[in-house]
Chain A
Amino acid sequence: MDQIWSMLSDPNMQWIFLGCTLLGLSSGVIGCFSYLRKQSLMGDTLAHAALPGICIAFMLTGVKSIGLFLIGAGAAGLIATFGIGYITRHSRLKQDAAMGIVLSGFFGLGIVLLTLIQHGDYGNQSGLDKFLFGQAASMIGSDVLTMSIVCALLITACTLLFKQFKIISFDPGFARGIGYPVAFLEQLLMLLIVVAVVAGIQAVGVVLVAALLITPAVSARYWTDRLGLMVVLSGLFGAASGAVGTWISASVSNLPTGPVTVLAATLLFGVSVLFGPKRGLVAKRLMRRKVKQRFNRESDPLAQSHVKKKEAAL
């Protein structure tokens, strides 16, 4: 425990801690919109698809910089989105199969490239496999800075375009009717999801970064029916899980950040499922009991009078 506290006084660690919290916050905020637009698994697909992008960026430049990886992964993510759209539009395969194909195909390609890099003579390649499960502690100052700036930009974009995103999440037809550029906004939202996923890769890893988009949003949905509040709550849940994940993984050796962050988010999800007002399991159970009691109370005299009538008839 002392070790964990002393870690927080390390300035480098403070930066990483801050970066991951910010990352959780921004993914939680974006995740709300992708959840409401029924695109939760899109984040997962984009994250897996980012792996070959990262590998190609590294093979071309030979540098491990988060900025370059952002570009590579972003390009791969856009190709993946396009691929999914193309398959669903031009064949009879449904979206889930298209996502599965693109996800595993790109990931397979990524693994091939990763092994090529490992077997080839690229200097300075160690640690590239950290991208699979994330290792926040391995980030250096400039990485944290890039990540923080990206996350801040994401949050700003969501705040500025809140009204527009709200309307295309709930009623795209109406948005088109009142003259919003719906196609553009949808593409923009997709781009923001790609950026959020890519920004999280170094901290949380390719395989699990999607959970940062999905789980906080679903948890927040249990507490409220208002989008504004949901976005805030989801951001807070995401930030808390990012912080806890970094904190625990940095203090236990050889423990990747991604899974710990996801487990923290899942814990919050479990609490929400149980104790969410109205939707939570406990609230539902209480409500059911109350209704039952009321029903018994109200139907009791009725039943008695029914019995009496029967007796009178006999």
Chain B
Amino acid sequence: MSEFWILLTGALVASCCGILGVFLVLRKMAMIGDAISHSVMPGIVIAFLLSGSRDSLLMMFAALIFGLVTTFLIQMFQQSGIQSDASIGVVFTALFAVGVVLVSLYARQVHLDQDAILYGEIAYVHWNIWELGGINMGPKAVWLLGFTLLVIAAAIGLFYKQFKLCAFDPALAAAIGIPVALFHYLLMGLVSMATVSSFESVGAILVVGLLIIPASTAYLLTDRLGVMIGLSVGAGIASTVIGYYAAALLDASIAGCMVCAAGALFALALLFSPSQGIVMKKLRLRRLAS
């Protein structure tokens, strides 16, 4: 049974991240995703210190605020003349440092493990059960992730057309009256939500791997946005499953193996994608030449 819950949690994380990652990759904001996944750390820690529990909506809310603050600060420094990548670098390292200092100072008093935040503890997911009126409802993480996935799917589903236009042609979107800035912040808010609900399972650092790598894999395989989202989620889930069994085989970190599996899938797509793959291009050239 534990195996089922772990795989389900992993699949939910991969779905949340896979959907959002597509938009990050298309808007060339992969590193902003990285920055947000680092800088929600102080939000998580502060909410934990305030509430004393690990699975509160407060934590989600605090992380959401820090995610939006990150986006806002990056934007502000960029407008004041700092190069965009440098402003990303300054903001997320500073916020992440605040988070680590808080953890190191208070980790002794409260039960918050530095390793758990960084690499997650997906293996213990099924021990943290949600009970409602004495009835076992399954792991809390699954419910939290399910809720997040619902919110993400609802937001993207409702505003699919707007998100699509903002991803490919923000100037046109602005010209026909779509509030581009609003959708930018909405996307960033969703990314912070996905990060915080995944952090317990895969950790703050490796979320970014599941955000960017499956989406990039999908980007190499198709030219259609809808298909790309589906493929991205599929690649994410596949890497979860492969990663889990590889980790069991090697006796190593599950989250690490999941990201490695995602990386391996990406390498396969890079080489053998039917339309974009390097090997396929070479073969096509050779066939044309002969």
**Residue contact A109 to B263, C-beta cutoff 8 Å:** yes
Q: Which residues of A contact B (CB under 8 A)?
A: 35, 38-41, 43-44, 87, 90-94, 96-97, 99-101, 103-105, 107-116, 119, 129, 132-133, 207-208, 210-211, 214-215, 217-218, 221, 252, 254-256, 258-260, 262-263, 266, 269, 273, 279, 281
**Chain B residue total in the interface (Cβ 8 A):** 60
Q: Which residues of B contact A (CB under 8 A)?
A: 25, 28-31, 33-34, 38, 77, 80-83, 85-90, 93-94, 96-98, 100-101, 104-105, 107-108, 115, 118-119, 205-206, 208-209, 211-213, 216, 219-220, 247, 250-253, 255-260, 262-263, 266, 270, 276, 278
**Residue contact B212 to A258, C-beta cutoff 8 Å:** no
**Residue contact A105 to B256, C-beta cutoff 8 Å:** no
**Residue contact B208 to A104, C-beta cutoff 8 Å:** yes
**Residue contact A115 to B93, C-beta cutoff 8 Å:** no
Within the assembled complex, what's the spacing in Å between the Cα atoms of A125 and B90?
32
**Residue contact A221 to B82, C-beta cutoff 8 Å:** yes
**Which listed residue (B81, B88, B219, B260) contacts A41, Cβ 8 A?**
B88
Return chain A residues, CB-CB under 8 Å to B211: 100
If A40-B86, A100-B212, A132-B118 touch, whether A207 touches B96 (CB-CB below 8 Å) is: yes
Within the assembled complex, what's the spacing in Å between the Cα atoms of A270 and B121?
36
**Residue contact A101 to B81, C-beta cutoff 8 Å:** no
Q: Which residue of B lies closest to A34 (CB)?
A: B86
Return chain B residues, CB-CB under 8 Å to A256: 100, 104
**Residue contact B31 to A266, C-beta cutoff 8 Å:** no
**Residue contact A214 to B86, C-beta cutoff 8 Å:** yes
Return chain A residues, CB-CB under 8 Å to B250: 112, 116
- 7 contacts across the A-B interface (CB closer than 8 A): A40-B85, A100-B30, A104-B263, A115-B252, A208-B100, A214-B86, A266-B93
Return chain B residues, CB-CB under 8 Å to A112: 247, 250, 252-253, 256-257, 260
Q: Which residue of A lies closest to B281 (CB)?
A: A90
Within the assembled complex, what's the spacing in Å between the Cα atoms of A43 and B85?
11
**Residue contact A263 to B220, C-beta cutoff 8 Å:** no
Return chain B residues, CB-CB under 8 Å to A109: 256, 259-260, 263
A105-B213, A115-B251 known; 17 other A-B pairs, CB under 8 Å?
Answer: A40-B86, A91-B276, A93-B220, A103-B208, A104-B209, A104-B213, A105-B209, A105-B262, A108-B263, A208-B93, A210-B89, A221-B82, A256-B104, A258-B100, A259-B100, A262-B96, A263-B101
**Residue contact B251 to A133, C-beta cutoff 8 Å:** no
Within the assembled complex, what's the spacing in Å between the Cα atoms of A214 and B86?
6
**Residue contact A97 to B81, C-beta cutoff 8 Å:** no
Return chain A residues, CB-CB under 8 Å to B119: 111
Within the assembled complex, what's the spacing in Å between the Cα atoms of A260 and B97?
7
Nearest-Cβ distance from residue A203 to partner chain B, whole angstroms: 14
Q: Which residue of B lies closest to A87 (CB)?
A: B270
Nearest-Cβ distance from residue A137 to partner chain B, whole angstroms: 13
Nearest-Cβ distance from residue A83 to partner chain B, whole angstroms: 10
If A96-B30, A108-B255 touch, whether A41 touches B93 (CB-CB below 8 Å) is: no
**Residue contact B205 to A207, C-beta cutoff 8 Å:** yes
**Residue contact B94 to A266, C-beta cutoff 8 Å:** yes
Which of B89, B96, B251, B270 is packed against the most chain A CB atoms within 10 Å?
B89
If A100-B212, A119-B251 touch, whether A91 touches B270 (CB-CB below 8 Å) is: yes
If A41-B31, A96-B30, A112-B253 touch, whether A215 touches B89 (CB-CB below 8 Å) is: yes
**Residue contact A262 to B209, C-beta cutoff 8 Å:** no
**Residue contact B100 to A100, C-beta cutoff 8 Å:** no
Return chain B residues, CB-CB under 8 Å to A259: 96-98, 100-101, 104
**Which listed residue (A96, A107, A252, A262) contacts B28, Cβ 8 A?**
A96
Return chain B residues, CB-CB under 8 Å to A252: 105
Within the assembled complex, what's the spacing in Å between the Cα atoms of A279 and B82?
10
**Residue contact A92 to B256, C-beta cutoff 8 Å:** no
If A41-B85, A104-B206, A105-B263 touch, whether A97 touches B216 (CB-CB below 8 Å) is: yes
Q: Which residue of B lies closest to A264 (CB)?
A: B97
Return chain A residues, CB-CB under 8 Å to B252: 112-113, 115-116, 119
**Residue contact A104 to B259, C-beta cutoff 8 Å:** yes
Return chain A residues, CB-CB under 8 Å to B104: 254-256, 259
Which of A40, A90, A94, A99 is packed against the most chain B CB atoms within 10 Å?
A40
Within the assembled complex, what's the spacing in Å between the Cα atoms of A269 and B97?
14
Return chain B residues, CB-CB under 8 Å to A119: 251-252
Nearest-Cβ distance from residue B235 to partner chain A, whole angstroms: 12
Return chain A residues, CB-CB under 8 Å to B105: 252, 254-255
Return chain B residues, CB-CB under 8 Å to A116: 250-252
Which of A39, A93, A211, A281 is packed against the most chain B CB atoms within 10 Å?
A93
**Residue contact B90 to A108, C-beta cutoff 8 Å:** no
- Closest 8 interchain pairs by CB? A108-B259, A104-B209, A111-B256, A105-B263, A211-B93, A259-B97, A112-B256, A214-B89
